[in-house]
Amino acid sequence: MGIIVQKYGGSSVATTDKIRAVAEHVLETKRAGHEVVVVVSAMGDATDELLAKAHEVARSPDRRELDMLLSVGERISMALLAMAIRERGAEAVSLTGSQSGIITTASHTNARIMEVRPFRVQDELEAGRVVIVAGYQGVSYKRDITTLGRGGSDTTAVALAAALEAEACEIYSDVDGVFTADPRVVADATNLPELGYAEMQELAESGAKVLCAQAVEFAKQKNIAIYAKKTGARTPGTVVRTNAPAAPSGVRGVAHEVKVASIATDTTPERVDAFLRAVHTAGVQLKQQTLSVRGAAAAFAAVVSMDEYGPVVEALVAEHFGPDALRTDLGAVSLVGEGITRTQDVLLGALDVLAHLNAQVVGMSTSSFRLTFLVPSSAVPDAVRALHAAMALEGRPEAVIA
């Protein structure tokens, strides 16, 4: 049997009791005959607590030093997990991102994995050990510690699975896989047994928190199946893989973000250029960017998540385009599914539903896999529930049969 890569999120290792439970679960997999590589996140709120300390000593902490600081969270959980596994009589060793050969760009706090050289991981596996790797971090070619940004531990797990040619990559968290909508908003949202990579990427970029979009992109490139499961549960969860059968209605699920901002301005190409460079330097991710240039005039628009980038975005937009270019009282509701825009059916149906709710649609964007509607923040929960019902996502046939 082959290598299994398992990733455990912050809520799964939040206490030493939970770490002991993870140790048991890892050893079950090992006893079933697999070689096991475990990727861990920081314990619970450890990263947020470190971040708060950073802001106590500096208004705008240096990003290299932030990486040095934040990378310790995973090191604590991995060392504790290794101890807990050894306590149960098995061999285990923890390895930092650097020791695991996770080589990244030098873009601190938002680095991308460039290459994985997992020689030491392979050596330790051959010696019969469970290998525990710090998620979310790597080492730059300058030999500095880097972190991968939000959801980075997922990316570590998938990248390692690819480099090790693993049999499977399992992502454990406190939710039972991917749902047709956020169950906290839609009571009858149902588990999705399987979906495609592009669908998962669009769901993740539209607000679904289960898997990080960059990790899915990596998995797609290397054709690695990702199993999203609930820690401690015996349910199958969700598999993200190639050739997942299409959703019958064309709609796989509904994702949403309650707080986004729209940027829209009539300006010059030079100003847009300067703004985009500043955005890149600040590590902000823009979505749904559109630009149309006519001679010396340029119309630029984009959407951005305010939960993640609020204050930075406000400052950058005010500096480059003036404060009026930003509208911050918005939310986004997205319908996601392979081929969702092949016909206009879903789009027209969704607009009907939103009109019926008196939810003003102040913006729209589409891709091959997604329709996104910008509506006032206050209208988001009702819009999600109404669209979920209208697209007949509750009690989906495959979920009922399975």
Catalog residues that contact a copy of itself under the rule CB under 8 A.
Answer: 16, 19-20, 23, 50, 53-54, 56-59, 61-62, 64-66, 68-69, 71-72, 75-76, 78-84, 86-87, 93-94, 96, 99, 143-145
Between 88 and 342, name the residue whose CB sits nearer to a copy of itself. Answer: 88
Among residues 72 and 168, whose Cβ is nearest to a copy of itself?
72
Beta-carbon contacts of residue 153 (< 8 Å; ≥ 6 apart): 7, 9, 39, 40, 41, 74, 135, 136
Strands ordered across the beta sheet of 92-95: 92-95, 130-134, 35-40, 3-8, 168-173, 226-230, 238-240, 194-195
| CA 172 – CA 392 distance, rounded (Å) | 28
CB of 312 to a copy of itself, least distance (A): 17
The answer to whether 342 and 370 have CB atoms below 8 angstroms apart is: no
> Which H helix or E strand runs over 228?
strand 226-230
**Least gap, CB of 285 to a copy of itself (angstroms):** 23
CA atoms within 13 A on the CB side of 240: 33
Q: How far is the CB of 26 from a copy of itself (least distance, A)?
A: 13
Question: What SS3 string covers 270-281?
Answer: HHHHHHHHHHHH
| Cβ proximity of 264 and 196 under 8 Å | no
Q: Give which of 298, 292, 352 is closest to 320, Cα–Cα.
A: 298
Our CB check for a copy of itself shows the closer of 19 and 198 to be 19
Distance in Å, CB of 16 to a copy of itself, minimum: 4
Q: Bridge-partner residues for 40, per DSSP?
A: 8, 134
Measured from the CB atom, the residue of 72 and 284 that comes closer to a copy of itself is: 72
Comparing CB distances to a copy of itself, the nearer of 108 and 396 is 108
> DSSP alpha helices (H): ranges in 195-330?
197-205, 213-222, 269-282, 306-321
Residue closer to a copy of itself, measured from CB, 68 or 284: 68
Toward a copy of itself, which CB reaches closer, 54 or 274?
54
Residue 152 C-beta: closest distance to a copy of itself, Å:
17
- Closer to a copy of itself by Cβ: residue 137 or 238: 137
Q: How far apart, in whole angstroms, are the C-alpha atoms of residue 181 and residue 175?
A: 12
- In the complex, the smallest distance separating the C-beta of residue 38 from a copy of itself, rounded to whole angstroms, is 13
Residue 136 in contact with residue 196, Cβ under 8 Å? no
Nearer Cβ to a copy of itself (67/170)? 67
Which helix (H) or strand (E) is 327 found in, with range? strand 326-336
Alpha-carbon distance of 130 to 86, in angstroms, equals 9
Residue found by looking up tokens 């999120």 in the block: 9
CB of 51 to a copy of itself, least distance (A): 11
Measured from the CB atom, is 120 or 230 closer to a copy of itself? 120
Q: Are 127 and 90 in contact (CB under 8 A)?
A: no
Shortest Cβ 120–a copy of itself spacing (Å): 8
Shortest distance, position 386 Cβ to a copy of itself, whole Å: 46
At its nearest, how many Å lie between a copy of itself and the CB of residue 80?
5
Phi/psi zone of residue 392: left (φ > 0), alpha (ψ -120 to 50 degrees), beta?
A: left
